[in-house]
Amino acid sequence: MTSLDTERLIETITREVLTILRQGGGLATGIGTCADGSVCVSCGLCVVKSPDGVQQVVAAGADRIGASLGVADVAQQLARFIDHTILKAEATESQVRQLCAEAAQYSFAAVCVNPTWVHLCAELLCNTPVKVCTVVGFPLGATLPEVKAYETRRCIRLGADEIDMVINVGALKSGDYALVERDIAGVAAACREEGAHSKVIIEAALLTDEEKIQACTLSKSAGADFVKTSTGFGPGGATVDDVALMRRVVGPAMGVKAAGGIRSFQDAEGLVRAGATRIGASASVRIMQEAAGAKVAADQPRAARASVGE
């Protein structure tokens, strides 16, 4: 496919998705009611809305399914969505060790750390189901494609199971879709060859809705496994609207990771309902404590709940 063909395809998909969203009256066009009576703005393909469909997806090889919270124990279910994260420049070895200990304690999906900590995390988590995720081309995304691909392979060989790469935002906004797709494809191919998963950070706060659609479409075309909202270092973090839009564009087969500014159980729950299948957060322990509290409160008889301040 030539760069002109790519540009025409992206423009066509963007127009079609925007038309669908506008006709639906908003980004979350799948609004409905979940089994617990709460509002659901996801795609309708979860284990509550479509159990037969989910069984088919699992039979086809899926290893993680997005579902409305409340299907199983809230805290345990939520933990499987969370990448326990520390990406600040001043993170110390003791903080990374604590991150891994907490991830093992709560059975989080993964830890997400800078590349320099990958080998340590792989050693600390080798006897647990917790995966090691790291970042590439982070946080600006302006690294050369060849460098991102090399960094990906190096990190995987050090023990990373998942790679969160940042797209070339400037190239996307310039309309150079061929470069953006090549950039993503290099990392996605390295991940496939090395047995890891790839996530594409689109830095949604810097993009228009049209550009978000383009970024997600290119990520899907390039063979990535996930799209991700934010680095956490940009001008804004994850929003329900962005997650719903990204889910609408990539469909049910790809993962959607929400990251940036997720501080509470309520934040995480809303993003999962909007279609996120992974949550990146540094406040993961607090979110889990709040989730456990929400489960306790939900299990109490109404009279007892009223007595504790409802």
Catalytic residue among 212, 228, 242, 267: 228
Q: Which residues of 156-175 are buried (b: 16+ CB within 10 A; e: fewer)?
A: bebbbbbbbbbbbbebbeee
Residue type, 190: A
Domain spans, the chain: 3-299
Cα–Cα distance between 109 and 82 in angstroms, integer?
Answer: 5
Q: What topology is assigned to 3-299 in CATH?
A: TIM Barrel (3.20.20)
Instruction: List per-residue pLDDT tens for the chain, 310 residues long.
Output: 666 666 767 777 776 666 666 555 444 433 343 443 333 444 454 444 444 444 444 444 444 444 444 434 667 789 999 999 999 999 999 999 999 999 999 999 999 999 999 999 999 999 999 999 999 999 999 999 999 999 999 999 999 999 999 999 999 999 999 999 999 999 999 999 999 999 999 999 999 999 999 999 999 999 999 999 999 999 999 999 999 999 999 999 999 999 999 999 999 999 999 999 999 999 999 999 999 886 545 555 533 333 333 2
pLDDT one-digit tens code per residue, 240-269: 999 999 999 999 999 999 999 999 999 999
Cα–Cα distance between 236 and 6 in angstroms, integer?
Answer: 29
CA distances from 41 to 133, 239, 273, 275 (A): 28, 13, 6, 8
Q: Which residues pair with 200 in a beta bridge?
A: 165, 227
Known active-site residue 164: yes
Q: Mention every residue, 6+ apart, whose C-beta is less than 8 A from residue 3.
A: 177, 178
Q: Which two tokens stand for residue 284?
A: 């993961």
What is the phi/psi pair of residue 268, to 5°? -65, -45
What is the torsional sign of CA 291, 162, 115, 147?
Answer: negative
Could you tell me the pTM of the whole model?
0.78
Cα–Cα distance between 50 and 33 in angstroms, integer?
Answer: 13
CA distances from 256 to 108, 152, 194, 220, 305 (A): 17, 20, 22, 11, 35
Known active-site residue 52: no
Q: Does the bond joining 129 to the residue before it have cis omega, within 30 degrees of 0?
A: no
Known active-site residue 212: no
Cα–Cα distance between 293 and 73 in angstroms, integer?
Answer: 12
Catalytic residue among 49, 83, 148, 164: 164
Cα–Cα distance between 186 and 144 in angstroms, integer?
Answer: 11
